Amino acid sequence: MNLTAHLVRHKDAIVDRWFDMVAETYPADTAGFLKNKKDPFANPVRKNTLAGMKTVVAELFGGMDHEIIRKDLDPAIRIRAVQQFSPSEAVGFVFFLKTIVRDLLHKKYPQLLTDPETLPAVLDLESKIDEIGLIAVDIYVGCREKIFDLKAKVERNTVYKAFHRAGLVVEDPEDGPHIRPV
């Protein structure tokens, strides 16, 4: 039986452990809420995060379809992109998978870690986790770009309205608005 076949048997446990580790990245009261409030309507963060994690684990042990991973990981990254996380904290949770897989192998299948034929499979699995991490970075950067664009538009509109109220904007039907020289 190959490495993936062994790990697939534990995919629910992997997702559960991964979710617990992600929840611990939040303050204690939020972590408790995320872990204990299981109603998807009362706790959409839990729902979206778990859904993304289940897909990522399935793809890690399956086809590694980047578009499926991107689509299902997007909500979890989007949530973290607007919270008070540094970029590394926002996407770093993906790499918890390496620790989880290593711990599982140490506990359940220590012989696989000493088998020289299994080492390439372990390294391949860790490379796939790195790919997923890069997908998470792309999602995060895209979200942050949208946030900065929105902030810039709001600021521009605020300045424009202030200038317009002060009579410093001239409306030209052909060219659009212009700032009137003072």
Could you list the pLDDT tens digit for every one of the 182 residues in the chain?
A: 688 999 999 999 999 999 999 999 999 999 999 999 989 898 999 999 999 999 999 999 999 999 999 999 999 999 999 988 999 999 999 999 999 999 999 999 998 888 888 989 999 999 999 999 999 999 999 998 988 888 888 888 888 888 878 877 777 667 666 666 65
pTM over 0.85: no
Instruction: Give the DSSP H or E segment for 178.
Output: strand 176-179
Residues 6+ apart with CB under 8 A from 171: 177
Burial of 135 (0-12, 13-18, 19+ CB in 10 A): buried
Query: What spatial distance separates the first Cα and last Cα of the chain, rounded to whole Å?
Result: 79
Residues 6+ apart with CB under 8 A from 1: none
